[in-house]
Chain A
Amino acid sequence: MEVRLHGMWASPYVIRVIWALKLKGVKYEYIEEDLSNKSMAVLEYNPIHKKVPVLVHNGKPIVESAVILQYIEETWPDRTPLLPEDPYERAMARFWIDFGQQKSLTFFAFFLTSEEDKHKTAAQVLETLKILEEEALGDKKFFGGNTINMVDLFFGWLTYSFGCMENISGVQVLLPETLPRLHRWTLDFKQEPVIKENLPDSTALLEHFKRVTKHLKSSNKFKPA
């Protein structure tokens, strides 16, 4: 197969690449990786980070979901554009994707929050999401306007993973009362055919999150700043 994707079913980094490939109608072979026992292919293709997703196109590997999404956009430009045509609007899209990446520690802190810090970390997440709602989404249906684009794909994890974080921490943040437009967006986004058909099973995902949280908290591997 010309295009191969090494991934993991619960990874939001992988899922956003799957969405992009499907939106572009790109045929690909998917290889599910056991992250505790990575295939030789992943280690060979991504010797630096040893992570998924890895997209392999004509034998050449590309890693990092943001880099992969740009690559997909540039390689198949004539199908379903994932970035605006106007350079300024494109810059804005890239800014919001970068914003999302820069805020990952904030979300991580909420994900792994202790009981005593849960309201504090939740408040920080709410502040971040308020900026996103006000400045990036505004009154549009999607971040991309009337149709979804790369920014929607980037924040798509909010529509499935984030609920698990809320469940585990015991604090709900993304509600119609607190973030009306963003909440509305989560519903609209999940209705889009490609998205709807490519979401992880919610029960399995929650179980997975619980396992991961337990493991990370006990190993003390990730100390939120």
Chain B
Amino acid sequence: MSEVKLFGAWFSPYVKRVEMSLNLKGVEYEYIEEDLKNKSPLFLQYNPITKLVPALVHNGKPIFESSVILEYIDETWEGPSIFPKDPFDRAMSRFWAKFVEDKCSDLLWKACWSAGEEREKAAKEAEEGLTILENEIKDKKFFGGENIGLVDLVANYIALWNPILQDVVGFHVLTQDKFPNISKWADEFCNDSFVEKYMPEKEKVRLWLKRAVETGSLY
């Protein structure tokens, strides 16, 4: 039996960021792809509360929620860290990670999936968030500085999934014209030799999102 198991779904940005974190630390783990339409009894036994991926099981003990898992991985294993050392810098990382999720990614997703007034509202709010983020990445290669950090991993949705979804639905909020710095970061991130090993194939994601838009269901 593997000491570390990761229950995931290949298309999930939350799962991918956990995978990157595990691989950065060089942790050996067993990956189990979950069919989210038909969750396995084992998975549900480990994660009865949220029933979502990712779920990390370490020595039989399950941990869920990607943000919680990322902190756990950082504390449990030696090796390169996605968290800064200084408490103030760590606080800043946590702040920006939450900002990226709540004020950028979630709104970008919502803008793509909604219509009419709701779409306009989400797009406007997303632009406000992105404007602030654009300024934050301005003089840096990655949000984490020279190396990728927590915020880069959490922003993975913006780097890969969002551009594809925007194309599929034909509604573009995050454009290179409006957000050149974020766009540059996205390229840098996706083409990073470490990151690209743990990102899904863009064409596969495009087909998945296309079908999701047509059927109205993600899985």
Contacts and interface: CB of A to CB of B under 8 A. Distances in A.
Interface of A: 48, 57, 60, 62-64, 66-68, 70-71, 74-75, 87-88, 90-92, 94-95, 98-99, 131, 135
B64 interface: yes
Given A63-B95, A64-B95, A95-B68, A131 B49 contact: yes
Nearest to B75: A87
Nearest to A57: B88
Nearest to A131: B49
Contacts of A95: 63-65, 68
Interface of B: 49, 58, 61, 63-65, 67-69, 71-72, 75-76, 87-88, 90-91, 94-95, 98-99, 132
A94 B98 contact: no
Contact of B67 (A57, A68, A88, A98): A98
Query: Chain B contact residues: over half helix, strand or loop, or mixed?
Result: helix
Query: Chain A contact residues: over half helix, strand or loop, or mixed?
Result: helix
Contacts of B49: 99, 131, 135
B65 A98 contact: yes
A44 to B, nearest CB: 15
B65 A71 contact: no
Contacts of B94: 64, 66-67, 70
Given A48-B132, A67-B98, A135-B49, A91 B63 contact: yes
B91 A70 contact: yes
A98 B58 CA distance: 20
Contacts of B87: 71, 74-75
Contacts of B65: 94-95, 98
7 contacts: A57-B88, A64-B95, A75-B87, A92-B63, A94-B65, A94-B67, A95-B64
Given A60-B88, A62-B88, A67-B95, A98 B68 contact: yes
B99 A71 contact: no
